[in-house]
Amino acid sequence: MPQHETRRPLAAPKTTPIPVSFEKPRKNFHVDLLLWFCILWLGAIVLAAIFAPLLPLAEAQDASKTLMEPTNQPPFTVPGHPLGTNGLGLDIFARLIYGARISLTVGVAAVAIGMAVGAMLGTSAGYLRGAWEAVIGVLTNTLLAVPALILLIALSTVLRPSVVSLTFSLALVASPGLIRLARANTLAFTQREFITVARALGAKPGRVILRELLPNVLLSMMSLSFVYISVLIVAEASLGFLGVGIRQPTPSWGNMIAEGLGGKMEQYPHLVFIPATVLFLTVFSFNLLGERMRKRWDKREVSL
């Protein structure tokens, strides 16, 4: 790059317009390492969560079995408890893995349900238009009128918080955004030739929606799924932290972090910072993967 270029005080207009994008212009080895770290982390968490019952883990839930165990031990001090123990002598490592089961199940299942519902409603609203679109529009606006966390807390007031009720509550919270996204995508796809062709060949609306629109809409929504998973994992953890999500003694990352409240964090910082780090890494990984997927997908769209 010539010397005068670097000294410019502002992004100066060049003779050839430079496309504006968030993307970095060249491949960066360092960044790829980060991506692989995230994939490895998520892979490890997922595998541990799936095979949790088969792993030789110490007691995670039943405090009556840990009466003899040391309590509030920091990591790497007691043999058999790699990440230490909590106030009841329960093994933090085991609780993290069982917490991962809940976080991942709830997050992934809620996004899957939200996507299925959102794609169906959004696509049909965008293709059929008219009264159906108006009804769906008002319903999404109504769901969006209550801030997500407030809606979740309100639901958990009346539903006993469990993995199933949380999954459906989170799916409900995720769906309005997904419905809007599906509808917007449908409006764009409906202008394309393959829809015109399908209609010219006599395809009924049901067939156009199911066979032509849905696969395309779902594909474009996929790139957002990871970001949604990370948002819902945070929401689930927030509920657990507030005490209105999964309740003790069942471990969830949120209620584990809440164990450090009430002055315990000052004495035993590991109670808070171990689950907080795991939560951070997981959310970060999902975000990063989602970001990369979005870029990948955007490129594909451009090349079409």
Partner 1 sequence: MKLMINKVVQLVVVLLLVSIGTFALTSLMPGDPATAILGPDQPAEAYIELREELGLNDPVLARYFGWLGHALQGDLGNSLVTPFRSVNELVGGAFPVSFQLAAMGLIISLAISIPLAMVSARRPDGAIDRAISALTFGILAVPSFVAGLILIALVVNQLNIFPRTQWIPFTENPLDNLYHAALPAITIALAEVPTFTRVLRGDLVSTLQEDFILSARAKGMPAWRIMIFDAFRPSSYSLITVVGLALASLIGSTVIVETLFSLSGMGSLIVNASYVGNVTVVQGAVLVIAVCYVLINAVVDLLYAVIDPRIRRATT
- Which residues bind to partner 1, rule: CB under 8 A? 9-13, 17-18, 20, 22, 24-25, 138-139, 141-142, 144-151, 153-160, 230, 234, 237-238, 241-244, 254, 257, 260-261, 265-266, 269, 272, 276, 279-280, 283-284, 287-288, 291
Read off the amino acid at residue 219.
Answer: L
Nearer to partner 1, 39 or 265 (CB): 265
CA distances from 194 to 55, 88, 303 (A): 51, 62, 17
For partner 1, which is the closer residue by CB, 173 or 195?
173
Which residues lie closer than 8 Å to 59 by C-beta, 6 or more apart? 65, 66, 69, 90, 91, 94
In sequence order, which ranges of the chain are alpha helices (DSSP H)?
3-6, 29-50, 92-128, 130-145, 148-158, 163-190, 193-200, 205-207, 214-242, 253-258, 264-267, 270-303
Q: How far is the CB of 280 from partner 1 (least distance, A)?
A: 5
Q: Closer to partner 1 at the Cβ: 99 or 254?
A: 254
Q: How far is the CB of 284 from partner 1 (least distance, A)?
A: 4
- Token couple for 53: 């019952």
Work out how close the CB of 51 gets to partner 1 at its nearest, in angstroms, rounded to a whole number. 26
CB atoms < 10 A from the CB of 280, how many? 11
- The whole-angstrom separation of Cα 263 and Cα 267 is 7
CB nearer to partner 1: give 12 or 68.
12
CA 195 from centroid of its chain's CA atoms = 32
In the complex with partner 1, the residue whose CB is nearer, 12 or 54, is 12
Closest distance to partner 1 from the beta carbon of 154 (Å): 5
Closest CB to partner 1 among residues 40, 159: 159
Structure tokens of 180? 């809007």
Q: How far is the CB of 258 from partner 1 (least distance, A)?
A: 8
CB 76 → partner 1: shortest distance, Å? 20
